[in-house]
């Protein structure tokens, strides 16, 4: 009997996946462990296996197109087997796609003004060229930013060549054209964004009439053009609103060298007021160095009747201003998830001081023999993992209508990157040695900073740790990372005067704050967990038993 292969759920936030490549075609024999396709999700490009044996009878999604999670992407069965009955269940959902184009008939008058499309020329062009569109790399993505082009117009392109790098909410992804030929057209410049499914490049035979392809794209229903115009409007508004006092930005962009821009920023000079002396009116370093604000001419009041003014007149350098930074997809997800956590989960906080004198001595001794340098954060991860094993109530997840008590200990360790915060996960941390934790953590942090983490490396945590001690923060409270029931905030180690047995002494104190979800963790439970954690850190040898 024929078996249906559906779009798998490859990410906790995934709603659909884009078929990046088919490794099998209709009629091919498929084994259970064969990779049949590659799917682009919001986090990474993943391989999809059918886990069935037979002949590939049907492919439901073309390369470059998206399929909803659980949607049919292929059918495998016996040669000649009738599989059409299996598609009946999906027919009710199929009309939804055309409905979208029919639902947005807004500017129907616009196509009348566009030049007529030469269908014959278009068909001929499409025979000799492949249109490469912006892929869907995230379930919340509406556009992608071209970070870099690896090919330029006129270059020869092979099927597996990386054409460009596209920035998403989680990572910078490589985009392949999956076509052989010459790069005939680049539709988006580096640093600019393209809407999902918008043409970013065309690859094909030299001499192909790409104008026919572009004309057909421009003559498409205005449903595509309208959002593009809306997204472009804010950018042009910001640029023109700031453009005062300079005529070197006739195309809406300031022509200035990077050094000139940096100097202007450091000196508080509005770059729009500077007149450029370089090629085409480009602003260069000497223009910024010699710039004098227009109001400066009136800034030096002359002494009248031999009487000097009481005080010099203040002349501001530059003018009032601000910059609006659009939210990245990553920042939007962080805002959404943490807002839900903070305003849904009833947080309460437990604080404790830990004497790290013995831990400092132990770390020094361990690092003399460890193949990997052990940090204090590695020690906190190990101690937390062992404490969670003794207090499983804290190693739990709030699931809405039930509490999940996890039997494994996966520690998420928050890392700040340029676009926000991501939480790589150390799996089975309670079973690993300090050197194993240190080596794995170092590799994950490096991947996080380079946006190379895979979904399994930043999901599945049962407890989280946020450490700001290395940034000089003594103590703070952290927002719980859902669905975890708790998160540990770690401050810096600071020399502090303490009283011990009636005598004042100096100790190295580290402050810990445990944020707990009161729906799943009670105060006494959290307090006992912190006491155990304190015991491990104040006497590290107990972690080795």
Supply 59's token pair.
């492919």
Which among 492, 242, 488, 253 has a CA at the least distance from the CA of 385?
A: 488
Q: Which residue has the tokens 């572009």?
A: 214
Of 486, 526, 488, 529, nearest to 345 by C-alpha is: 486
CA distance 504 to 499: 4
Tell me the backbone φ, ψ of residue 22, rounded to 5 degrees. Answer: -100, 130
Among 67, 42, 261, 218, CA closest to 140: 42
- The DSSP element (H or E) to which 328 belongs, if any, is none
Which of 118, 4, 151, 126 has its CA nearest to residue 70?
4
Task: Give the Cα separation of 31 and 337 in Å (integer).
Answer: 40
Structure tokens belonging to residue 45: 């490009």
- Rounded Cα distance between 98 and 3, Å, is 27
What is the DSSP pairing of strand 411-413 with strand 463-467?
A: parallel
Q: Give the three-class secondary structure for 543.
A: helix
Catalytic residues: 518, 522
* Cα dihedral sign, 387-388-389-393: positive
- Give CA–CA dist 379/541, Å, rounded: 11
């Amino acid at each position: 009997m024929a078996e249906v292969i559906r779009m798998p759920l490859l990410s906790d936030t995934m709603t659909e996946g884009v078929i990046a490549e088919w490794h099998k075609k209709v009629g091919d024999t498929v084994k259970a462990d064969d990779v049949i396709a590659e799917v682009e999700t919001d986090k990474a490009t993943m391989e999809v296996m059918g886990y069935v044996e037979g002949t590939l009878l049907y492919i439901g999604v073309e390369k470059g197109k998206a399929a909803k999670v659980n949607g049919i992407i292929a059918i495998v069965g016996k040669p000649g087997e009738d599989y059409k009955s299996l598609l009946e269940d999906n027919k009710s959902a199929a009309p939804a796609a055309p409905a979208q184009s029919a639902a947005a008939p807004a500017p129907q008058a616009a196509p009348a003004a566009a030049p007529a499309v030469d269908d014959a020329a278009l068909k001929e062009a499409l025979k000799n060229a492949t249109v490469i569109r912006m892929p869907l790399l995230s379930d919340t993505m509406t556009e992608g930013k071209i970070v870099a082009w690896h090919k330029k117009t006129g270059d020869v392109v092979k099927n597996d060549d990386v054409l460009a790098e596209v920035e998403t909410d989680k990572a910078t992804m490589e985009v392949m054209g999956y076509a052989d030929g010459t790069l005939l057209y680049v539709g988006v410049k580096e640093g600019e964004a393209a809407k999902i499914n918008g043409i970013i490049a065309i690859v094909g035979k030299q001499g192909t009439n790409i104008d026919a392809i572009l004309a057909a794209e421009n003559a498409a229903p205005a449903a595509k053009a309208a959002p593009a115009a809306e997204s472009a409007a804010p950018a042009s508004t910001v640029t023109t609103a700031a453009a005062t006092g300079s005529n070197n930005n006739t195309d809406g962009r300031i022509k200035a060298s990077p050094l000139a821009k940096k100097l202007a920023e450091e000196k508080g000079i509005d770059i729009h007021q500077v007149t450029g002396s370089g090629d085409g009116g480009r602003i260069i370093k000497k223009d910024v160095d010699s710039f004098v604000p227009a109001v400066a001419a009136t800034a030096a009041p002359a002494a009248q009747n031999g009487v000097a003014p009481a005080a010099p007149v203040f002349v501001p350098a530059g003018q009032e201003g601000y910059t609006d930074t659009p939210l990245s997809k990553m920042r939007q997800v962080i805002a959404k998830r943490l807002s839900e956590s903070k305003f849904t989960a009833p947080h309460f906080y437990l604080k404790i001081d830990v004497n790290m004198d013995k831990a400092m001595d132990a770390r020094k001794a361990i690092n003399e023999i460890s193949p990997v340098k052990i940090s204090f954060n590695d020690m906190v991860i190990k101690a937390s993992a062992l404490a969670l094993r003794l207090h499983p109530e804290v190693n739990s997840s709030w699931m809405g209508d039930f509490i999940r008590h996890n039997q494994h200990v996966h520690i998420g360790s928050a890392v700040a990157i340029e676009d926000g915060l991501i939480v790589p996960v150390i799996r089975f941390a309670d079973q690993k040695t300090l050197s194993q934790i240190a080596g794995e953590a170092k590799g994950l942090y490096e991947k996080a900073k380079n946006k190379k983490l895979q979904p399994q490396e930043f999901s599945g945590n049962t407890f989280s740790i946020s450490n700001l001690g290395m940034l000089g923060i003594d103590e703070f409270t952290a927002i719980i990372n859902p669905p975890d029931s708790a998160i540990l905030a770690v401050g810096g180690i600071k020399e502090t005067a303490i009283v011990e047995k009636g005598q004042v002494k100096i100790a190295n104190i580290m402050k810990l704050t445990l944020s707990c979800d009161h729906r799943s963790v009670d105060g006494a439970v959290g307090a006992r967990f912190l006491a155990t954690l304190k015991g491990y850190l104040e006497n590290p040898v107990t972690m080795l038993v």
